[in-house]
Structure 1
Amino acid sequence: MNLEFTAEEQAFRREVRDFLAAKLPYGIRERVRLGRRLSADDHLCWQNLLSERGWLGVNWPQEHGGPGWGPVERHIFDEECAAAHAPTIVPFGVSMVAPVIMKFGSETQKRHYLPRILSNQDWWCQGYSEPGAGSDLASLRTRAVRDGDEYVVSGQKTWTTLGQHANMMFCLVRTDPEVKKQAGISFLLVDMETPGISVRPIITLDGAHEVNEVFLDEVRVPVANRIGEEGQGWTCAKFLLTHERTGIAGLGHAKQALSHLKSVALEVQHRGRPLLEQPGFRQRVVKAEIELMALEVTHLRVLAAARDGGAPGAESSLLKVRGSELRQELSELTRRALGPQALPFFPEYLFGDQELEREEAEHAALGAQYFNRRKLSIYGGSNEIQKSIVAKTLLGM
């Protein structure tokens, strides 16, 4: 693999960098940089700007309205967005359900849903995990009983990220309880405004309302909202999860986090010297940087393998495992570098010193991010499950 960027790719990088400098709103950039929570309006503002530029569906082929980028362009775009502190694109519509619709959906479904995803008319959430069915997703119990041209859906979904903003949910349901558990699952698109749906917040360890429980009580969903054939949901789910796991690696954000870690470790003094010059701490930073370089090569290989519209293979599980562990390690090192400064703070005790409040807020946000990053090795399929997939698929064990 040639790891040198061509002149055309370097020009593309400058184009992305210029766009970010001109279009990314300062307030949103600062909230991302300081680790503050973004509102739904913040996300929609940025994604509308990307949509206007034709850069929202970065993994979409041109025939469906995407830019038709190859793996290198996508890699450069992600890297520059992270470096500029742009918000992460909410993945559930554009990066997760859209590829499933392209692969398994009918022409009618493609014509209806894909333009709405690109124009941000629909905010999607994921109805996969349930109490007792997370990593063992095939054990899900949400039932969908056929009644004429509708399914009547009852059950519960959990860890539904940003479900409080969503008007649509792609949902795995059990349509046949008598067959092998993977064979009795179907993939439905559910309007969140349908009677019988209620959303209850779950407050995470960092104090954020990011995830939810979703309850479905005899919710009527048109059969026309099923993707693929009845019982084909497990195939759709596996296809979607490979795209999700590739994204969890978060390579661009890991590179930005490494850069920030180095700057913090140079500022923090330990025994009269910058912390980054302390052998024990420096060794961990160097190890993380080497692993990040290796992850970057693997990421480009996986993207290249999927450039023709297919799903990434079991390699996406390797990306998910190493990427999530690396991002956790970088947040752990940053927290250690800041020490007590990473603890929560109370602005009323800062006596109106806005500069001090700003600095303390930034450090405290890094502490909150440390707690939030704990989930990375669990969601999208726990790392233990991913290692089993690699062992079976790649190693034949």
Structure 2
Amino acid sequence: MSLREQARAWLEANLTGEFAHARGLGGPGREHEGHELRQAWERHLGKAGWTCLGWPPRYGGRDASLDDQVAFHEEYARADAPARVGHIGEGLIGPTILDFGTDEQKARFLPPIQRGDELWCQGYSEPEAGSDLANVQTRAYLDGDEWVVTGQKVWTSLAHVADWCFVLCRTEPGTQRHRGLSYLLVPMDQPGVEVRPIVQLTGTSEFNEVFFDGARTDRRNLLGAPGEGWRVAMATLGYERGVSTLGQQIGFQRELAKVIETAKRTGAADDPVLRDRLVRSWLELEIMRLNALRTLGAGEPGPEVSIAKLYWSEWHRRLGELAQAVQGRSGLVAHGGELNDLQRLSLFSRADTIYAGSSEIQRNIIAERTLGLPRE
């Protein structure tokens, strides 16, 4: 039996009973849904060996091929399984630790991620260092055997439920831009860390401000060499746009299907302009998948992954606009004060071209680092 067949059978058998209620929960703009149930599901996945498939077996993985990893993510999305609460750990910091971590760091941090016992958040963006990440001002210094961290991060997804944060900070006073940055692993449950939720257009609060005021972490929790944090941070961003994006696109297919269904029901599909937009959305989603497969097959992630991020975020924002258009006037009203799925899609997708690197920055990266055009 292929891994795809195993995954399909396991998901069908296990998304039942208690976990039947987890189907479809979570995702962008809906991370507030069923968090405790979804974390229990994460642990259930880990115990059965369905997390971190590409990792070495000694850290709980299966050393699965790229094709098998893609197959699992596709089957997971098709089963309408809940959005993963451990995706930042498995998809971002886990691969980064595998690449840059010491044996001690791998033994400490990877198994709890695989089991679903520890959740992570990403400490990159700041009030003055969003898309211009190299302008990071959060600083840290060594005090004996501990790093002391002071500064502010913003738009930190899931910080309110995270156990750990990987923090890009300046550890060499007087340095600027990419130099003098280090990559620290910082525990969230301590007196020097304050998390303040940010309410979004959807009324939910999966993003947060995080204030570090003398927060501490062991000096051994430095990932990579001191002052080489930029290199480590860029590797993490490459993994952020990796294999799980194929599963993400199954979710996009479901959203597009719901938009088309609504267009037929409301009569919007009879409008030739809207019908053309629906067809274009379908074609562009097919192109997205093919481009993702081509990028994943190219080896280690590099600056070209910005093409994928730019493409899907711009496409998804247009889908959100289309979702609003096919509803007609009824889409302008939140009946009973609750947003429907297409209204939520319309509102939250506005953020797609900003978070994880704005479209403007992605275009610069593509121009300068992939095409070799002159720098600004």
What's the counterpart of residue 260 of structure 2? 262
Deviation at 1:341, TM superposition (A): 3.3
Aligned residue number for residue 236 of structure 2: 240
Matched, 1:49 2:40: no
Counterpart code for 1:341: S
Question: 1:291 is matched with which residue?
Answer: 284
- Could you say which residue in structure 2 is the equivalent of 1:196? 192
What do the CA deviations read for 1:102-137 (whole angstroms, capped 9, x no partner)? Answer: 111100000110001111121111111111111111
- Is the aligned partner of 1:75 residue 2:63? no
Is this contact kept in 2: 1:32–1:85, CA < 8 A? no
SS in structure 1 of the partner of residue 118 of structure 2:
coil
When normalised by structure 1's length, the TM-score is: 0.86
2:45 equivalent to 1:40: no
- How far apart are residue 172 of structure 1 and its match? 0.8
Point out where structure 1 has 5 or more consecutive residues left out of the alignment.
1-7, 270-274, 349-360
Pair 1:380-2:370 in alignment: no
Fraction of identical pairs, as percent? 37
* Cross-structure match for 1:205: 201
One-letter identity of the residue aligned with 1:255 = Q
State the partner residue of 2:13: 22
Deviation at 1:30, TM superposition (A): 4.9
Cα distance in 2 for partners of 1:330, 1:221 equals: 43
**1:110 corresponding residue in structure 2:** 106
2:323 pairs with one of 311, 334, 346: 334
Matched, 1:221 2:210: no
Residues 1:345 and 1:394: Cα distance change in structure 2 (over 3 Å): closer
Q: 1:18 to 1:334 in 2, by over 3 A?
A: farther
Q: How many residues align?
A: 365
Question: Partner residue of 2:150?
Answer: 154
Cα distance change, pair 104–248 in 1 and its aligned pair in 2 (3 A): same
Within the alignment, does 1:345 sit opposite 2:334 as a pair? yes
Q: Which amino acid aligns with 2:279?
A: V
**How far 1:57 sits from its partner (Å)?**
1.2
2:307 to 297, 318, 325: 318
Alignment correspondent of 1:357: none
1:281 is aligned with what amino acid?
L
Q: Does 1:84 pair with 2:79? A: yes
* Separation (CA, whole Å) in 2 of partners of 1:285 and 1:58: 35
1:31/1:92 CA distance change after superposition, 3 Å: closer
Q: CA deviation at 1:19?
A: 2.4
2:131 — aligned with what?
135
Change (3 A) 1:32 1:263: farther
1:156, 1:213 within 8 Å by CA — same for their partners in 2?
yes
8 Å CA contact 1:79, 1:253 repeated in 2: no
CA-atom RMSD in angstroms: 2.2
- Aligned 8 A contact 2:25 2:34 in 1: no
Amino acid across the alignment from 1:222: D
1:322 & 1:375 partners in 2: Cα distance? 14
Structure 2 counterpart of 1:189, which letter? L
Larger radius of gyration: 1
Q: What letter corresponds to residue 28 of structure 1 in structure 2?
A: A
What SS does the corresponding residue of 2:125 show, helix, strand or coil?
coil
**Which deviates further from its counterpart, 233-242 or 282-291?**
282-291
Note if 1:253 corresponds to 2:246: no
Structure 1 residues 13-60: Cα deviation after superposition (integer angstroms, max 9, x where no partner): 443333222222221215459x85413213212212221221211443
Is residue 242–residue 313 contact of structure 1 (8 Å, CA) maintained in 2?
Answer: yes
Amino acid at match of 2:358: S
The structure 1 segments of at least 4 consecutive aligned residues displaced by more than 6 Å after TM superposition are none
- Contact 1:245 1:380 survives alignment (8 Å): no
Aligned to 2:368: 392
SS of residue matched to 1:207: coil
Residue-by-residue CA offset, 1:310-334 (whole Å, 9 max, x unaligned): 3x12221000000111122222222
Q: Which amino acid aligns with 1:202?
A: I
Q: Deviations over 1:151-208 (max 9, x none)?
A: 2211111111111111111111100132343121001111111221111111111100
Unpaired segments of 5 or more residues in structure 2?
none
- In 1, are the aligned partners of 2:323 and 2:345 still within 8 Å (CA)? no
User: Residues 186 and 229 of structure 1 are in contact (CA less than 8 Å); yes or no, is this contact kept in structure 2?
Assistant: yes
Q: Is the 8 A contact 1:70 1:304 kept in 2?
A: no
- What is residue 282 of structure 1 aligned with on the other side? 275
Look up the SS of the partner of 2:352 in the other structure: helix
User: Does the CA contact (< 8 Å) of 1:254 and 1:330 recur in 2?
Assistant: no
* Alpha-carbon displacement from aligned partner over 1:277-305 (angstroms, at most 9, x marks no partner): 43211211111111111111111122222
Structure-2 separation of matches of 1:17 and 1:378: 34
Question: Following superposition of structure 1 onto structure 2, how do residues 180-195 of structure 1 map, counting pairs within 5 Å?
Answer: 180-195=176-191
| TM value normalised by structure 2 | 0.90
Relative to structure 1, is the Cα distance of residues 120 and 30 closer, same or farther in structure 2, using a 3 angstrom cutoff? closer
Per the alignment, in what secondary structure is the counterpart of residue 225 of structure 2?
coil
Per the alignment, do residues 292 and 345 of structure 1 end up closer, same or farther by CA in structure 2, a change over 3 Å counting? closer
Q: Which residue does 1:300 correspond to in 2?
A: 293
Q: Does the 8 Å CA contact 1:344/1:364 hold for their aligned counterparts?
A: no
